[in-house]
Amino acid sequence: MKKLKILAIKFKYLGDVIIMLPSLRMLRRQWPEAELHVLVAAEAAPFLQGLDWIDRVWSFPRTRGKVRLSACWPQIRQLRAEKFDRSVDFVGNDRGAIVSRLIGAKERLGVFAPKGFAGRKWCYSTTVEELDLTRHEVVRDAHVLSGWDVPFLAEECVPHLAAPAPSPEAEQLLPAGTVLCHLSTSQPKKEWPATRWAELGQQLSAAGHPVAFTAGPSEREQALLDELRQADPQANILPRFATLDLFIATVARARLFISPDTAPLHIAAGLGVPTLGLFGPSAASRWAPLGPANRHLQGGLCPCSGHLHTCAQPQRCLDGISVAQACETALEMLAR
């Protein structure tokens, strides 16, 4: 008997793809014998390829705001040849809708979101109304599967990534028991000032907990580490990572991972590392990693939400999180 073939689609950022993992687990529970494929942006594919319960990971190049079907057409042809029985698009944006239609699964499930081109809903054979924005993104993804009567499983709501291979270089970079602080995000408005990171590191070190600092690979993000070095010349700042694999292996060694709302926060949580998330313009109630090992702090009120990359307010929402709050919470977590 032919196996059921299912394709799950999510064209968003890396953290969003990790958040989708619980829903993929629910799909796997519903159809344990099915052939499960996943289609994501190219940068997210490596995080799924190590999961042995996913049969195949497909990737597309992704440029924000552009569909670029010409660049994706070879993969679309290959996907069409797979003759999927079902496809589910967890986002419901224009790109996901068009690709769902072109791939041509017999049953195409998608989100009926209010924005986008008028013909988008005709790209799916079944649509589910988008869940309200007060719910956690894990729950919002799982809600889409209600279109196929897939039951929501609360016990599956914590994403789990495959453990990285042992790395002698990661062992040298981050000795056991070290607290790892990640300073940067793709949006400056989500970042804590370097002076506060310096103060937090000094307080944790004084309490007997070694601390190391890292940031993303871009020049702007690496410049935050230069600011930190000026604020605290003794800070243990890790060099720019040569590969993503080395970064993941290093994160996996951390005793506690502290960062603003960014993909590495979800990577750490997915690896089973306790996390402390610092949230300002984004709501922790929607985006903070779930599970008892993870905690978060939420900043104050501010009108900088949305797609703005920077905040021009004199008192930014993230500034509402004090060093004392972060240090107290981190020490409580380390004491456990």
For the chain, 336 residues long, give each residue's pLDDT as a single digit of tens: 688 999 999 988 889 999 999 999 999 999 999 999 999 998 899 889 889 999 999 998 765 555 566 677 888 999 999 999 999 999 988 888 989 999 999 999 999 877 767 777 789 999 999 898 899 999 999 999 999 999 999 999 999 999 999 999 999 999 999 999 999 998 999 999 999 999 999 999 999 999 999 999 999 999 999 999 999 999 999 999 999 999 999 999 999 999 999 999 999 999 999 999 999 988 999 999 999 999 999 998 788 766 778 877 778 889 899 999 999 999 999 998
User: In the prediction, which pLDDT does 37 show?
Assistant: 98
Domains, the chain, ranges and CATH? Answer: 5-156 (3.40.50.2000), 168-335 (3.40.50.2000)
User: In the prediction, which pLDDT does 69 show?
Assistant: 65
Query: Is 141 in contact with 20 (CB distance < 8 Å)?
Result: yes
Burial of 205 (0-12, 13-18, 19+ CB in 10 A): middle
Query: Is 279 in contact with 150 (CB distance < 8 Å)?
Result: no
Sign of the alpha-carbon torsion through 298, 303, 306, 309:
negative
Q: Give the CA distances from residue 2 to residues 83, 100, 163, in Å, rounded to whole numbers and listed in that order.
A: 12, 22, 32
pLDDT 10s digits, 108-128:
999 987 776 777 778 999 999
Q: Residue 37 corresponds to which tokens in the numbers above? A: 């494929």
- Look at the chain and count its residues: 336
Residue 8, classed as helix, strand or coil, is strand
User: In the prediction, which pLDDT does 63 show?
Assistant: 59
Query: Is 150 in contact with 133 (CB distance < 8 Å)?
Result: no
User: In the prediction, which pLDDT does 70 show?
Assistant: 67
Q: Identify which of 72, 330, 322, 51 has the alpha carbon closest to the alpha carbon of residue 178.
A: 330
C-beta contacts of 23-28 below 8 A and 24+ residues apart: 23/90, 23/138, 23/141, 23/142, 23/144, 23/145, 24/54, 25/53, 25/153, 25/156, 26/142, 26/145, 26/150, 26/151, 26/152, 26/153, 26/156, 27/88, 27/145, 27/150, 28/53
199 phi-psi bin (left φ>0, alpha ψ -120 to 50, beta other): alpha
